[in-house]
Copies of this chain bind each other. A is one copy, B any other.
Amino acid sequence: MKKHNFSAGPAILPQSVLAQAAEAVKDFEGAGLSILEMSHRSPEFSAVMAEAISLVRELFELPDNYKVLFLTGGASSQFYMVPMNLLSDGEHSSYINTGTWSTKAIKEVSNFGTVEEIASSKDQNFSYYPKEYTIPENTKYLHLTSNNTIFGTQIKEFPETKVPMICDMSSDVFSRRIDASKFGVIYAGAQKNLGPAGTTLVIVREDLLGKTERNIPTMLDYRTHIAKDSMFNTPPAYPIYVCMLTLRWIKEQGGLQAMEAKNEAKANLLYNEIDSNPKFEGVAAKEDRSLMNVTFVLKDKSQEAAFLEKCEAANISGIKGHRSVGGFRASIYNAMPMSSVQVLVDLMKAF
């Protein structure tokens, strides 16, 4: 029996995508080969890559000067690749620290330039999204994490900035409409809204590149991958294929507007229960609540184990909170059906 998968990532994917993804491992569209054993230079895989890139462009309505890459190494690798490619020695960058991942991103900058944490919500265990800050005049870019998987906060309105915004969208990419033209770089590990683990989406405004004199290893230079449409070396073909299927599914569902509406409805259902049920309470500041990762606790901590047991009995998985926050975390990404959220809400009501 299929579980209700509330895992924070790798995370739930659409059932129709999983069915096609399994079929392609046996035989890719009647080619007589598994997609796992097909050359990345084959016409078949070239078409997969082209469609994946094209769907990203279409869903985000990307202007021509933005390039779409499918790389590897996770968002964690973008933490150093961004400053390595964009900052020259001594140049300044600004970061907003909203949790574990922002903190890790900040740590990687100093090899390449200077870094200033211009705002942080660390004072309250990252339970809110900072809104008051000044972006220094001399800074090269502003980096932020749009959604904080661990703490359950999400930025609702991106700031207006004179400098390019760099955004780690790993856990809310393609979950809502954004104005992509506001960003210098958008990056996202695939394993939440986009596909399985193993590839990282990177969208780069091309004119930002080539400004540093630094010698960048070939594989770490965004321009290497732009020049070859992410096929400079063998790409992670299967993860990219499953991303392509998921992007197709998003488009078929009605694109980002439809995703946004569905995600709001699911989150409202769950947050309403948290707010109205006297046993539970939310962790994140209400105005900054994530539509993707809903963090909550039982007021009486001693009942936690009992609630987790009920969840397990109801076939709910991945609901235990991260150790930095405790309690529970329901990750309700694009592919999570309303019916699974309802199962959880019913369980909370009954508890």
Contacts and interface: CB of A to CB of B under 8 A. Distances in A.
A50 interface: no
Nearest to A236: B198
Contacts of A219: 73-74, 76-77, 79-80
A134 interface: no
A282 interface: no
A73 B217 CA distance: 12
B74 A234 contact: yes
Contact of A34 (B13, B36, B189, B232): B13
Contact of A2 (B32, B104, B235, B318): B32
Nearest to A23: B22
Count of chain copies: 2
B39 A8 contact: yes
Contacts of A199: 198, 236
Contacts of A18: 25-26, 34, 36-37
In this complex, which of A1, A9, A38, A215 has the most chain B Cβ atoms within 10 angstroms of its Cβ?
A38
A237 interface: yes
Contact of A19 (B26, B77, B111, B318): B26
Contacts of A12: 37
In this complex, which of A9, A12, A108, A198 has the most chain B Cβ atoms within 10 angstroms of its Cβ?
A198
B7 A196 contact: no
A42 B242 CA distance: 21
Contacts of A220: 80
Interface residues of A, number: 66
In this complex, which of A5, A31, A42, A238 has the most chain B Cβ atoms within 10 angstroms of its Cβ?
A238
Interface string A12-47: 110000110111011000011110111110100000
Nearest to A78: B219
A249 B80 CA distance: 38
A315 interface: yes
A145 to B, nearest CB: 15
Given A1-B32, A74-B233, A108-B217, A37 B25 contact: no
Contact of A39 (B10, B74, B108): B10
A238 B196 contact: yes
A330 B111 CA distance: 45
Contact of A189 (B23, B33, B77, B234): B234
A11 interface: yes
B39 A13 contact: no
B11 A21 contact: no
Contacts of A195: 36
12 contacts: A3-B33, A10-B37, A10-B39, A13-B34, A18-B25, A25-B25, A32-B315, A72-B72, A75-B233, A76-B233, A197-B234, A199-B236
Closest 10 CB pairs of A and B: A198-B236, A72-B72, A80-B217, A22-B25, A36-B196, A3-B32, A76-B233, A74-B233, A22-B26, A197-B237
